[in-house]
Amino acid sequence: MVTIFRNVAELINITDKRNTSISEVMIQQEMDISEKSREKVIEQMENNLSVMEKAVEDGLKGVKSRSGLTGGDAVLLQKYMKEQNPLSGHLLLDAVSKAVATNEVNAAMGTICATPTAGSAGCVPGALFAVKEKINPTREQMVRFLFTAGAFGYVVANNASISGAAGGCQAEVGSAAAMASAAVVEIVGGTPQQSAEAFAITLKNMLGLVCDPVAGLVEVPCVKRNAAGASNAIVSADMALAGITSRIPCDEVIGAMFRIGRTMPTTLKETAEGGLAATPTGRALTSKIYGIHVEKE
């Protein structure tokens, strides 16, 4: 039986008809599309998981980017968690720290797994490895977490955009956070429909997010946006698990994100010509990094 879904509604419909999980549907679709064996498909995802794991570990040891704009914040967060009583709680801040760790490794030219892009690579592992500390999942469950995230990323990529240059940061960190949220729901035992609700709730709360990298680098404000994305993912997953639904269906939220991206001015889509990149400090940092004079607004 060939498995192909084009949107979230079709994905959930398949899980209902076959009484199976989102991750299993995605594994089957990947097998059908790639014409690879189940073992090969899972092996490739296990490799992705290993890359993510090492990136988190490296980031938590402390790294610095060549520009000097980012680095060390993941270490500060872990230190704060150990020495203080975080207002946001251990799991949420752990997700934030591991999202930051991943993106700091990316900024330091380390190896990461783009989920769905390099600039948004912290949300999925941040959420996954924080939840891991709480529920102690098997390796298989962690791999399935990535397939679930991938299923929703597949829908976004084929119906909207995962590119900051095309749709703003809502398309990157917004999509990544929503993917993570949907996967969190499945790994803790939620239903496929609850995964869809979590995705929709997360993405709704990141609609309109602009892409305005200072000096054109994937550092400021990208790293901290991944922190916000990871925390959004966890909170939205809890909302969905509590029975809260999105009044706007998941596919319609994705469509709204696509249309917002199309109407967003180019100055706010990865060009470093607007937003935070165009602030006096943003211009000054650009001048310092590249040794050129950048006019301030």
Please report, for the chain, the start and end positions of each structural domain, with discontinuous segments joined by +.
8-296
The pLDDT assigned to 5 comes to 97
C-alpha–C-alpha distance, residues 247 and 190, integer Å: 19
User: Which are the contacts of 247, defined by CB distance < 8 A and separation ≥ 6?
Assistant: none
User: Which are the contacts of 99, defined by CB distance < 8 A and separation ≥ 6?
Assistant: 122, 123, 125, 126, 127, 226, 227, 229, 230
The pLDDT assigned to 292 comes to 77
Residues of the chain with confidence (pLDDT) below 70: 1-2, 293-297
The pLDDT assigned to 3 comes to 78
Closest Cα partner for 170 from 117, 121, 116, 209? 209
Neighbours of 258 (CB within 10 A): 17
C-alpha–C-alpha distance, residues 81 and 104, integer Å: 19
- For Cα atoms 113, 259, 114, give the angle at the middle one, nearest 5 degrees: 0
Residue carrying structure tokens 């949907």: 182
Residue carrying structure tokens 């994305």: 229
The pLDDT assigned to 95 comes to 98
Of the chain, the end-to-end C-alpha distance in Å amounts to: 59
C-alpha–C-alpha distance, residues 190 and 181, integer Å: 11
The conformation of residue 271, written as its DSSP 8-state character, comes to S
The pLDDT assigned to 296 comes to 56
The pLDDT assigned to 295 comes to 64
Contact 41, 26 (CB under 8 A): no
The predicted-structure confidence for 119-162, as pLDDT tens digits, reads as follows 999 999 999 999 999 999 999 999 999 999 999 999 999 999 99
The pLDDT assigned to 293 comes to 66
* 259-to-167, 254, 256 alpha-carbon distances in Å: 9, 9, 5
Q: Taking the domain 8-296, which CATH number applies? A: 1.10.4100
pTM of the model: 0.97
Question: Side chain identity at 34, as an amino acid letter?
Answer: S
Contact 278, 220 (CB under 8 A): no
- φ, ψ (nearest 5 deg) of residue 100: -60, -45
